[in-house]
């Protein structure tokens, strides 16, 4: 990983090499942290952070789901994110805030542990290929909404994503697709799923998935471009018979899906709507579309 100079921890800027957590921190043992993945983009007027307010809102929602009492206001935390990008002189990249239960007592209850946080940021390019990727339905289903607070971004949830990725990766695929407990499409390990059929977009309902900020942005952008999105149950068969399929996410941005389970989606190439959404999305984050400047925080 390419490092930057500073990482923010509990209100202080520390050198990248010197930030520490104790090995008996609760979150290391039980996955009881919450986090965000945020992108910063380069624009003519300097770096911008994409939808910072929404990411901070989700971070605080996730923290609330595991009863963390946040020592910082949202405004203070937002400013710490901006400061981390600024002090590292980052032009573009990935920002990773993590709130965790630190060193206190070691038992299931985290309530005897302090709530601590770090914010790191580093230069980062594409996460998945810009070319259509090969996806396979994982043997693991997405965690059941009654097993956890599914729409919170809790560290422990990511074992479900990691297992799914490792399985399909070992079989030669680029990324996994997880079904929900009813066998309908849920999402990727770190991405939301969309399909396009006859000029309309379809995406799985909220409930079994993370409420992706990119997902919401793409629904809004698509509407402005004249494409309505239906949020409903999505069958795997519909995806296989779609004109286009793609993933969205902070890391994935808009990633075209070329095949699922070895079966091509249409001709396996980037579809017209996917291409258009990707192009417009990249213009927005580059600060080239005034209409969406509300989504950008200048550093
Ligand atoms: N689903 C999961 C499980 C994720 O981890 C992510 C990444 N945060 C997403 C979807 C996409 O969400 P966003 O667009 O907010 O990054």
Judged against a pLDDT cut of 90, whether residue 218 lies above it is answered with yes
Q: Which of 152, 144, 167, 124 is nearest to 38 (CA)?
A: 124
Mutate to test the pocket of ligand 1, among 50, 214, 219 (most ligand atoms within 8 A of CB): 214
| Percent share of the chain, pLDDT over 70 | 99
Residue 116 pairs with which residues in a beta bridge? 100
Which pLDDT tens digit goes with each residue over 238-268? 999 999 999 999 999 999 999 999 999 999 9
What is the Cα–Cα distance from 178 to 190, expressed in whole angstroms?
10
| CB distance 136 to ligand 1 below 6 Å | no
* Residue 259 C-beta-side C-alpha neighbours within 13 Å: 10
- What sign for the dihedral angle of Cα 12, 13, 18, 24? positive
Q: Which of 198, 89, 178 is nearest to 138 (CA)?
A: 178
Mean pLDDT value across the chain: 97
For the full predicted model, state whether its pTM sits above 0.75. yes
Torsion of CA 179, 220, 126, 50, to 10 degrees: -120
Give me ligand 1 centre to Cα 190, in Å: 5
Which pLDDT tens digit goes with each residue over 28-41? 999 999 999 999 99
Which pLDDT tens digit goes with each residue over 131-178? 999 999 999 999 999 999 999 999 999 999 999 999 999 999 999 999
Judged against a pLDDT cut of 90, whether residue 125 lies above it is answered with no
What is the Cα–Cα distance from 32 to 127, expressed in whole angstroms?
25
Judged against a pLDDT cut of 70, whether residue 47 lies above it is answered with yes
Judged against a pLDDT cut of 90, whether residue 126 lies above it is answered with no
Nearest CA to ligand 1 atom 10: 191
Q: What three-state secondary structure class fits 127?
A: coil
Query: What's the token pair of residue 238?
Result: 């519909």
> Please, is 76 exposed, middle or buried when counting C-beta atoms within 10 Å of its C-beta (0-12, 13-18, 19+)?
exposed
Mutate to test the pocket of ligand 1, among 51, 54, 212, 220 (most ligand atoms within 8 A of CB): 212
Which pLDDT tens digit goes with each residue over 89-100? 999 999 999 999
Judged against a pLDDT cut of 90, whether residue 68 lies above it is answered with yes
Judged against a pLDDT cut of 70, whether residue 2 lies above it is answered with no
Judged against a pLDDT cut of 90, whether residue 3 lies above it is answered with no
| Mean pLDDT (whole number) for 102-128 | 95
Give me ligand 1 centre to Cα 160, in Å: 13
| CB distance 215 to ligand 1 below 6 Å | yes
> In angstroms, what is the C-alpha Rg of the chain?
19
Which pLDDT tens digit goes with each residue over 6-19? 999 999 999 999 99
| CB distance 204 to ligand 1 below 6 Å | no
- Cα–Cα distances in angstroms (integers) from residue 112 to residues 67, 70, 141, 213, in the given order: 12, 14, 33, 32
Q: Which runs of E-coded beta strand occur in the chain?
A: 6-9, 12-15, 34-35, 38-43, 46-50, 93-101, 115-122, 133-137, 175-179, 185-187, 192-197, 200-204, 229-232, 244-249, 253-260, 263-264, 296-298
């Amino acid at each position: 990983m390419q490092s930057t100079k500073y990482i923010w921890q509990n209100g202080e800027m520390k050198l990248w090499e010197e930030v520490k957590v104790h090995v008996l921190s609760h979150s290391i043992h039980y996955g009881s942290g919450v986090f965000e993945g945020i992108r910063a983009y380069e624009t003519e007027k300097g770096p911008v952070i994409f939808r910072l307010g929404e990411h901070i809102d989700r971070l605080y929602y996730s923290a609330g789901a595991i009863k963390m009492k946040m020592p910082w206001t949202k405004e203070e935390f937002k400013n710490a994110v901006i400061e981390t990008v600024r002090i590292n002189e980052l032009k573009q990249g990935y920002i990773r805030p993590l709130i965790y239960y630190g060193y206190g007592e070691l038992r299931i209850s985290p309530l005897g542990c302090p709530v601590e946080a770090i914010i790191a940021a580093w230069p980062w390019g594409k996460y998945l290929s810009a070319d259509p990727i090969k996806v396979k339905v994982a043997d693991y289903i997405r965690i059941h909404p009654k097993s956890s607070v599914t729409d919170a971004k809790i560290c422990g949830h990511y074992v479900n994503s990691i297992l799914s990725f490792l399985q399909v990766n070992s079989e030669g695929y680029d990324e996994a697709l997880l079904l929900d407990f009813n066998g309908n499409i849920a999402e990727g390990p770190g991405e939301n799923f969309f399909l396009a059929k006859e000029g309309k977009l379809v995406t799985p309902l909220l409930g079994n998935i993370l409420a992706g900020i990119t997902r919401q942005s793409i629904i809004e952008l698509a509407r402005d471009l004249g494409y309505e999105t239906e949020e409903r149950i999505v069958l795997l068969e519909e995806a296989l018979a779609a004109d286009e399929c793609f993933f969205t996410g902070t890391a994935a941005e808009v990633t075209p899906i070329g095949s699922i389970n070895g079966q091509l989606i249409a001709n396996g190439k980037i579809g017209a709507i996917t291409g258009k959404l990707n192009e417009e999305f990249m213009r927005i984050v580059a600060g080239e579309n005034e209409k969406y400047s509300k989504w950008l925080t200048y550093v």
